[in-house]
Amino acid sequence: MGEKIKELAQGIVKGEERALARGLTLVENRKEGYQELLDLIYPEVKPCPIWGLTGAPGVGKSTITNFLVDKLAQRREKVGVIAVDPTSPFSGGAILGDRVRMMDLAGREGIFIRSMASRGALGGLSPAIMDAVSLFQAFGVDRIVVETVGVGQSETDIVSLADTVAVILMPGTGDDVQTIKAGLLEIGDVFVVNKADLEGAETLAGLLQSMLSGKNDDENRVPVVLKLIASQGKNLEELMSFLEKHQEYIETSGQKERKERMRTEMALKMHLQARYQDLFLKPLLGTEKWEQAISSINKREKSPAFWAKKIISGSE
């Protein structure tokens, strides 16, 4: 095992596609050796800007990603793309459809696209995706674009991961006050109203503007609202230049360190949670103590809070 993992790590660091592909599978499946692999590549991780795109299915995320990646590749940047799709809660399977929009990029020099299923991480990002970013950075990309399906409620992880977040919306899909309230406003650096030729685009953009006007970050920067028609290529250049300007700001304003720290904290938390699951929770399931707690709670003898405390202190 050790030798194989070492070889894999070397391959990734040398920039071999095949090694990266295999490594990504390893961390995604949480298979034996994945921690070793992360250990091995970590010293070689070369931080790079990360852009996050999020939005509901069908708003045009992939078309926009496709455009951005194409532009970056034209400049001979090496770009890594991670496209996250939800896993079916019923079968555990998934159809990863984002690649459909990006197939024109397949096989192009310097572009590596990987589809990942959310695998139970509710709308958010699984620890595997944080690790995938590390692998890409050890492989040596100039930029990473992460595309996630926003479900409107728990899509906040992306903020901890990406330097710059673009929230993609479109008119007429219920992207109205209610869904916007649900937390989206907190996460975007730029709000994109795609399909701006559809009815209601002006209203949506206006609504966003007014909701955002009172809101600014530590540097008194108000998020930007952009209208575009991605399918016709309209205003995509503007989005591109916004993202670049924002990146510049991040790098010159000291935000970069803050973002780094957020990412690291997030990764550490996720790994701790995973460890807790593996080492503590999973072995507990079905044990005598577990059953005892369940039946006591069901009989209304003690509350779940009581048992949680008792189990934890008992294990200390």
Question: Which positions touch other proteins (CB under 8 A)?
Answer: 17-18, 21-22, 24-25, 28-31, 57-58, 62-63, 87-88, 90-101, 103-104, 106-107, 112-115, 117, 119, 172, 198-199, 231-233
CB-nearer residue toward other proteins: 95 or 279 = 95
Question: What is the distance between the alpha carbons of residues 62 and 15, in angstroms, rounded to a whole number?
Answer: 25
Exposed/middle/buried for residue 290 (C-beta within 10 Å: 0-12, 13-18, 19+): middle
CB-nearer residue toward other proteins: 91 or 178 = 91
CB-nearer residue toward other proteins: 202 or 301 = 202
Question: What is the distance between the alpha carbons of residues 127 and 27, in angstroms, rounded to a whole number?
Answer: 9
CB-nearer residue toward other proteins: 122 or 222 = 122
Calculate the alpha carbon distances from 194 to 63, 126, 164, 258, 284 in Å: 10, 27, 18, 30, 48
CB-nearer residue toward other proteins: 57 or 183 = 57
Closest separation in Å from C-beta 71 to other proteins: 16
Tokens of 76: 């001979």
CB-nearer residue toward other proteins: 232 or 287 = 232
Closest separation in Å from C-beta 79 to other proteins: 12
Closest separation in Å from C-beta 100 to other proteins: 4
CB-nearer residue toward other proteins: 132 or 250 = 132
Closest by alpha carbon to 69, among 101, 37, 36?
Answer: 101
CB-nearer residue toward other proteins: 183 or 200 = 200
Residue tagged 């399977």 (tokens): 93
Closest separation in Å from C-beta 25 to other proteins: 5
Closest separation in Å from C-beta 110 to other proteins: 12
Eight-state DSSP code of residue 61: H
Closest by alpha carbon to 224, among 246, 197, 203, 202?
Answer: 246
Closest separation in Å from C-beta 281 to other proteins: 14
Calculate the alpha carbon distances from 298 to 194, 275, 295, 304, 312 in Å: 50, 29, 5, 9, 20
Q: Coil, helix or strand for 225?
A: strand
Closest separation in Å from C-beta 17 to other proteins: 6
Closest separation in Å from C-beta 41 to other proteins: 17
H or E element in which residue 15 lies: none
Question: What is the distance between the alpha carbons of residues 121 and 118, in angstroms, rounded to a whole number?
Answer: 5
Question: What is the distance between the alpha carbons of residues 260 and 255, in angstroms, rounded to a whole number?
Answer: 9
Q: Coil, helix or strand for 131?
A: helix
Closest by alpha carbon to 246, among 219, 268, 265?
Answer: 219
Residue tagged 């699984």 (tokens): 126
